Structures are given as C-alpha cells and as structure tokens.
Amino acid sequence: MSLRRLSFAIQHTRKLHRSLYFSAAEMARAMTVTFLGTCSGGGPNESRNCSSLVLDCKLANGALWMVDCAEGTTRQFAFQPPDTPSWLKPNSVTKMFITHMHADHCMGIIPMLRNILYPPSIDPNAFVPINPHPKIEIFGPAGIRTFVRSIMTMTLTHTADKYVVHELLRPDDVPTPCDPPEVMHTNEVAGKDIWCSEDGFWREFTIGRSVFGDVLVDAGPILHRDPCLGFIFREHEEPKRKIVILGDTYDPSPIIPLCMSPSLLIHEATDAHIPREIAPQHRRTPEKVLHTALARGHSIPQMAGEFAKTIGAEKLVLNHIGSRHVCSFPAPRHDRDSRLLVIREIERQATEAWGSGRHAMAAWDFMRVVVPAPESESMRQNDQNRSSSYEHVYADVGADGLPYVNKKRKW
C-alpha cells in the first residue's frame, strides 16, 4: 500500500512538528537532530529509510552536520514534510560522520557528494573557480577513505568542488594513503589520519564554530560485530549541551568515559519482544529476541534504557528500529494505527529500564528532536511569544492510547 501510508505518516509527523512549542528565540539557540532514516539494515521499508540524521548545532553560515548516510538519504531531503520549519538542504552539509562500514550506514555517501559538490563545467573555456578547500569533510573508521575514493573512481564521478575523508584509526588499523597524490581521486584533498589516544578515544578531533561558541566532537569505540563508533557533540561554553549519537551496538560501555550526563542520547534498539496481546504476529520468546539481537551485534530497548541510566542521559531516543521479517516495526501511520501500540511498547521497555521518570522516544523518519538552551531570566521576560514553560508536547500517548501527540510532557 506504501505511498498513501507514507503520506499518513507525514501528516502525523507534521502534527508533531506543530506541537513543538518553542519560541523563535528558543529555536534560534536550540540544537536539533532531524532523523532522515530510522530503520535497521533489513530495510528500507515504505515508512522508514535506513540510517541517517542531520545535526543542526547553529553553526556559522547555517552549516549542518550528518551522522551516517544510508542509500536514499539524498531523496529523504526532498521528502521532508512540506511545512518543516528550517527545511534542511543537502548543500548545507559540511561534515559527515560515519559510525561504521555496514552498507545500511554508508551507501548514500557518493550520491550525496554528487548532489553537494558542483558538477564540472561543460565549457573548457569557462572560468571555474578552483576552491582548494574541500566543500565537505567525511569522518569515519578505517576503510572509509578507500570506500569513497574507489566508488568515486569506479563510477567515473567528477566534480568541480573537492572533498576530504579523515580516518579515525585504532592502533592496529592500516591507514589509506594519500601520498603520492596520484593515488587520490582527482576531486579529493589529502585527509588526516587521526589516531586514537592511548585510552582508545578520539577527543576533539574536529570543531565547529557556532553562533554561541565552539562545538567539539569526540568519538569512541562501541561493541558491534564489526568496528563501530559513537560520536559526542558538545558545547565548549555554557550551556555545555552534549549530544551522544551511537552507531550499532550490543554493548557501548567502552565509550562511557566520553559520554556522561548528555543532554540527549541516541541509542539503537534493533529488536524487541512484543507481547502477543499487542501484536499477535510476534511469537518469539523474550529470550529468543535477546539472543538474536546480541548474536547480530544489536540491542533491545531495555539495553538502551539501561545505558541511558548508566550515563545519566537527560533524553533518550531509540533509533535503528528493526525492519526485517520477524522484527519489523514500521512507523505508525496515524493516531489510531495499531502499530502505534508496538512502538509504544518499545518505548515503554526502554523507559522502564531507564527509570528516570522521563519517557524514551522511538525515532521515526523526519522526527526532529530539540535540545534547547536553558533560558536566562532576561530572555524569558523579553520574549512575548514564548509558550508557558520549557515543556513541549512530544510524541507520547496517554493511558487510553490516544491521542498520540496532543499531550504535554516535561522531558
């Protein structure tokens, strides 16, 4: 049925957007995360694309950052709901952070580059300003440089602008050489080999100048069936917000030292046990679900909640929602969609394990999470248009199961 359903999902998302009661002044200072793809590698399906999200840290010139870039990410930009405030443009993306090399996290990179980088002129006499600086920087694990370079070469891609790939390397990794320059793609600039420190972390390996100060980026290893990273985006000055975005993992504990007390934690929850009274088609025991998730290197909602508890997260969003065969959790299409109950159950399991009194959210495509800056008293008095409190309406459901978005919840 697909596209009509997708349209429902969009309508739904639109309502959600409208329900974020932040004033313009608050939004001007808020960091936001917009999910462009929220399903696991079994996807995509009609309601969820595979992993990618856009981070808006209110950087100079409106620059945006991305984490992961599954196939179809470029088109997700075009699919944004019509009345999205601050419509995201692929062209604004200046840095891309890749958590790991699995296809559902990186196959969209080359198509994105083809859209972001200006194409070569057809006129050999045309004056094309050669900008020696890369228009986009890509950060990722060992192998990401070869991945981008070899696909750019194999697909005979040429652009007028340049790109660069920096590798986050562990002691045993083999860096991808940029010397002699002939080994590089013609549109590539030599990237940095960023070795981890002795304790295995990459601290402050890149920086963004925001309207309010510096945003620093750290990375650390998390456990998955192949090497995988988590990224931490944090403000250097007050209000020192901190956003932790983890790749696929069955145990992110190695990264704990970097990510205590984040404003927001985004953690995968690929599989979940759904009781039969909620979804009769789900017939696996809780033990079977956990075993399968761990064997494939993934988490269940409880694990996400427990990790949020361990690091003292202020908000928790579940991502990388299962989409293959027995663990398929499409986004709900409207307020009365029974799939909503499945998603609620996933959120309930994480919320219970988190035990913070706050509510965990399962992501869906085009959902935007706002991380506001606490307001000063003077700002609050000056802003006539702000709503009554810090509270905002968030995707949540009352005990009656309805409605999904018309309740206020304090994070």
Residues that bind a second copy (CB under 8 A): 1-4, 6-7, 10, 41, 44-46, 49, 71-72, 74-75, 78-82, 101-104, 106-108, 110-111, 114, 119, 122-123, 143, 146-147, 150-151, 154-157, 226, 292, 295-296, 324
**CA–CA dist 253, 251 (Å, integer):** 6
CB of 22 to a second copy, least distance (A): 23
CB of 320 to a second copy, least distance (A): 15
- Closer to a second copy by CB, 158 or 410: give it: 158
**CA–CA dist 404, 389 (Å, integer):** 21
- Closer to a second copy by CB, 41 or 230: give it: 41
**CA–CA dist 381, 377 (Å, integer):** 6
- Closer to a second copy by CB, 145 or 359: give it: 145
Token digits for 106? 């990186």
**CA–CA dist 89, 379 (Å, integer):** 30
Is the distance from CB of 341 to CB of 278 less than 8 angstroms?
Answer: yes
What residue ranges in 251-333 does DSSP mark as E strands? 264-268, 316-319, 323-324, 327-328
**CA–CA dist 159, 117 (Å, integer):** 6
CB of 123 to a second copy, least distance (A): 8
CB of 352 to a second copy, least distance (A): 27
64: which strand partners? 93
- Closer to a second copy by CB, 74 or 263: give it: 74
- Closer to a second copy by CB, 8 or 212: give it: 8
CB of 217 to a second copy, least distance (A): 24
Alpha helices in 19-69 (DSSP H): 24-29
CB of 229 to a second copy, least distance (A): 14
CB of 214 to a second copy, least distance (A): 33
- Closer to a second copy by CB, 114 or 192: give it: 114
- Closer to a second copy by CB, 75 or 409: give it: 75
Residue from 345, 342, 399, 337 nearest 11 by CA:
337
**CA–CA dist 6, 223 (Å, integer):** 34
Dihedral, 296, 299, 300, 304 alpha carbons, nearest 10: 180
